[in-house]
Structure 1
């Protein structure tokens, strides 16, 4: 083999090595570029997801609210669904909304738009008392309860604290009573041969246990608790409505019955027929409605659900719940 051929082969080998190295480097650069592009894409996707989630957690500004800013308006507060501590119509939510509406110097009047079957007597009582207190602190700002589909029991308790109550002719109004429901599984357990073993440190500690037979004295005691709550409910309604109630002619007003809006008008349960917009336009004389209803963010709702114990949910299902204004 000649020296020239060896030199040429060596040069050719070096050239191939360089080309191979060049290809390898180019492939690495292309791979880095490709990885960078995918990285940017996934980062952008993550940011979009986070901003979207954040947008869900920020309460939305009601269009009605922006329409009334800077001028006199009617404050609107919704009382929707069950009146319970962990629900939308909790005392905390409604009271916060009331305070904000009363404190706004542009509020000419307040409409409580009610669509609720009632709920906790405690939560209803908190709201009732706060309406009374705020009315005393701001005597020039009137409160009007407007019942839409349903204003029953605890919801009517709240409405009775307002200056006036309005309803539609077909609204359902009233149900001034107290209920506490549970189940009895004693017979079923005997049939399937299951024994219930309860250990307590008090003679009547488990008197609401649905798996044990009822005792006459405990049933009488519990009935007394419900009647006491009912009396408190009646006294509050009488204090709020006064002589407008036709109790002399209609003693069944406090029996737990429910009436249409048209019937409720004759009984003195409501003052007139009309909607929220009617009250704002014709009674308060400020047609612009500004929504002051406090709405919980999805994060708040998730936190509450997460914090609710399994035992509490089981207690509700099995009937271990207190009195309800329903």
Structure 2
């Protein structure tokens, strides 16, 4: 209605300021499950679809992410690039406390990356984490019974000693994933990357100020100040959230009457997993 009325207002009386849609990417990246909202392709699809609209000046990604699933990282970043190309919009990434591992993967979906001088940036690598309890069941007097069809179905069983061939197979898988990560960074950052590849792609991470020198980011800067410098003081920054919000999901809305309570143990495990990701960077 308002748009239809504005066409009758003389152009000299209209004021048009650039609009930037801001998408917040906060937390570990993992496939959606349980009660807690996650950074996943499924959860972010409606947000990204809403953010990339014609008529705006660009999209800003506000990133505070310690990493997570390489598959979800790739899916989210690919969707951002697809929408940016379809709508012909520039994308700017702004790293907060940390944009590492999968978080840096998401940042590379942007055309330009900025961070605070003390942001943690990088960690271009792949990790597999777990525990081993080969003697636990014996001490508890518990007999574990596992039956498989397929010689390698029970590889890396945490209740059995590690087998060298299983570890070798896992390392091959991680190296292949790492190669995909490196290829994406090289494609997106191109000639801006500086320094030795053996250092940049080693899994190390750096302060934002150092990351500029390595070409991992384009400069030290914060979202509001940087975008005002680019688009002027009148630029409008509009946060884009999930349609309908995530509150009902957290309370178990849309599930069975007891669904929320039944998934509380799963939510507790997700919280521990999330805590483990952040703690890797001292956060």
Q: Shorter-normalised TM-score: what interval?
A: 0.7 to 0.9
Deviation at 1:173, TM superposition (A): 0.3
Higher mean Cα deviation, 255-264 or 94-103? Answer: 94-103
> What are the superposed Cα offsets for residues 103-136 of structure 1, whole Å, 9 maximum, x if unpaired?
242x211110000101111111111111221222
Q: Choose the corresponding residue for 2:83, options 126, 134, 144.
A: 134
For residues 219 and 29 of structure 2, the distance between their equivalents in structure 1, rounded to whole angstroms, comes to 24
Asked whether 1:88 is paired with 2:38, we answer: yes
Asked whether 1:99 is paired with 2:49, we answer: yes
Q: Choose the corresponding residue for 1:204, options 152, 162, 183.
A: 152
Deviation at 1:307, TM superposition (A): 7.8
Which structure has the bigger radius of gyration?
1
For residues 254 and 129 of structure 2, the distance between their equivalents in structure 1, rounded to whole angstroms, comes to 25
For residues 46 and 182 of structure 2, the distance between their equivalents in structure 1, rounded to whole angstroms, comes to 26
- 1:115 alignment partner, SS class: strand
On the 8 A contact 2:100/2:123 being kept in 1, the answer is yes
For residues 217 and 267 of structure 1, the distance between their equivalents in structure 2, rounded to whole angstroms, comes to 37
- Which structure 2 residues correspond to residues 231-242 of structure 1 after superposition, within 5 A? 231-242=179-190
The equivalent residue for 1:119 is 68
Q: TM-score, normalised by structure 2?
A: 0.79
On the 8 A contact 1:128/1:158 being kept in 2, the answer is yes
> What are the superposed Cα offsets for residues 18-67 of structure 1, whole Å, 9 maximum, x if unpaired?
xxxxxxxxxxxxxxxxxxxxxxxxxxxxxxxxxxxxxxxxxxxxxxxxxx
For residues 262 and 161 of structure 2, the distance between their equivalents in structure 1, rounded to whole angstroms, comes to 27
Q: TM-score, normalised by structure 1?
A: 0.69
For residues 81 and 96 of structure 1, the distance between their equivalents in structure 2, rounded to whole angstroms, comes to 18
For residues 308 and 82 of structure 1, the distance between their equivalents in structure 2, rounded to whole angstroms, comes to 23
On the 8 A contact 1:149/1:171 being kept in 2, the answer is yes
The equivalent residue for 2:24 is 78
- Which structure 2 residues correspond to residues 278-289 of structure 1 after superposition, within 5 A? 278-285=225-232, 287-289=235-237
User: How many residues are matched?
Assistant: 247
> What are the superposed Cα offsets for residues 111-164 of structure 1, whole Å, 9 maximum, x if unpaired?
10000101111111111111221222222x210000011101101001112100
- 1:186 alignment partner, SS class: coil
On the 8 A contact 1:82/1:116 being kept in 2, the answer is yes
